[in-house]
Amino acid sequence: MTKVLIATEKPFAAEAIPQIKKVIESAGFEMILLEKYSDKSELLTAVADVDAIIIRSDKITEEVIAAAKNLKIVVRAGAGYDNVDLAAATAAGVTVMNTPGQNSNAVAELAVGLMVMMARGFYNGKAGTELKDRTIGIHAYGNVGRYVGQIAKGFGMKVYAFDPFLTKEAIEKDGVIAVDSAEELYAKCQYISLHIPANDKTKESIGYDILSKMPKGAVLVNTARKEVIHEAEMIKLMEDRNDFSYISDIAPVNKDIFAEKFEGRFFFTPKKMGAQTLEANVNAGVAGAEQIAAFINNGDSTYKVN
Ligand code: 3PG
């Protein structure tokens, strides 16, 4: 029987599991659950005889792929697949998919929620500021970026976006102002919400030069990946500008330096929690199971990324 492993170091909400299981069993497959594993060896053992794996930010390395002799497909229940060694998967004939859009609203709500928290001084009782009439720049206008734009418009913010892969028309049909470059976006916007993927081109791409273009009271909100920030340059910038704040969904490597130097100007979630909602977990988990069923039973490779 086809075996589908759900390998989630950070588990889906408990209520999502029966819904995912139902899809897997309706397709005629068996579901195996490996949650909250603390050591890579547990993953290596669990993958040994499975045909398919559903993961979140779990690392699917060359070693994991080599240990999974029957593996045909890995579905990253979520958007970013920088945690999967695509070259190793391709070399082993393993299809890799993501589930675009399924957890995007959750991430967008967190991004805007974090902006409110920063604007209100972490709810410390003192006078803060409002988001209304402020400028926000959405860096990469994909599924999460679109939701951030919608929510920000609801707050009365002036919404700009830059996306190198989209035409201006595609962005402006949503009533969002498209700009010609990332530099222009950062120069125009007090808030920047970051939604670029982490890859060889984008890692450490957000550094001193571009961030220093942001206007007074700048707030960078990163619900993308910590790896896209050049941390040493970010620290230098925050030393040079005491009006600059940084919010990140998952702490940077140098979090202790931020704590020591920039009190009140940063916030980091203890564990990546953008997609940590019941709705996002159900949507992404069920979509992952459906995609595996369609791939194995009908050869449907929609959402294949390798
Ligand atoms: C994603 O890329 O979909 C998000 O970063 C969510 O990641 P998570 O499933 O590990 O929470």
pLDDT, one tens digit per residue, over 49-60 is: 999 999 999 999
Report residue 156 as tokens.
């009365």
What's the gap between Cα 278 and its chain centre? 16
User: Cβ neighbours of residue 103 under 8 Å, at least 6 residues apart?
Assistant: 77, 78, 79, 274, 275, 277, 280, 281, 283, 284
Report residue 58 as tokens.
């779990």
Pair (189, 281) in one structural domain: no
The angle at the Cα of 192, spanning 189 to 194, to the nearest 5 degrees, equals 150
Pair (55, 109) in one structural domain: no
Task: Write the burial class of residue 4 (CB in 10 Å: 0-12 exposed, 13-18 middle, 19+ buried).
Answer: buried
How confident is the model at residue 145, as a pLDDT? 98
76 in a domain, yes or no? yes
38 in a domain, yes or no? yes
The number of distinct structural domains making up the chain is 2
Predicted confidence pLDDT, tens digits, the chain (306 residues): 999 999 999 999 999 999 999 999 999 999 999 999 999 999 999 999 999 999 999 999 999 999 999 999 999 999 999 999 999 999 999 999 999 999 999 999 999 999 999 999 999 999 999 999 999 999 999 999 999 999 999 999 999 999 999 999 999 999 999 999 999 999 999 999 999 999 999 999 999 999 999 999 999 999 999 999 999 999 999 999 999 999 999 999 999 999 999 999 999 999 999 999 999 999 999 999 999 999 999 999 999 999
193 in a domain, yes or no? yes
Report residue 151 as tokens.
């929510």
How confident is the model at residue 123, as a pLDDT? 98
Q: Are 248 and 268 in contact (CB under 8 A)?
A: yes
How confident is the model at residue 63, as a pLDDT? 98
Pair (116, 204) in one structural domain: yes
pTM: 0.97
For residues 221-246, b (16+ Cβ closer than 10 Å) or e, as one string? Answer: bbbbbbbbbbbebbbebbeebeebbb
Pair (86, 206) in one structural domain: no
Pair (131, 221) in one structural domain: yes
Ligand 1: distance of its center to the CA of 78 in Å? Answer: 5
The whole domain housing 283 covers 3-102+276-298
Pair (87, 112) in one structural domain: no
Pair (139, 153) in one structural domain: yes
Pair (159, 93) in one structural domain: no
State which of 272, 277, 278, 303 you would mutate to test the pocket of ligand 1, scoring each by most atoms of that ligand within 8 A of its C-beta.
272
Pair (120, 256) in one structural domain: yes
Pair (131, 9) in one structural domain: no
Pair (119, 264) in one structural domain: yes
Query: Which numbered atom of ligand 1 lies nearest the CA of 80?
Result: 2
Q: Which residue's CA is the nearest one to ligand 1's atom 11?
A: 275
DSSP string of 3-37, one letter each residue: EEEEEESSPPPTTHHHHHHHHHHHTT-EEEEEES-
Pair (155, 30) in one structural domain: no
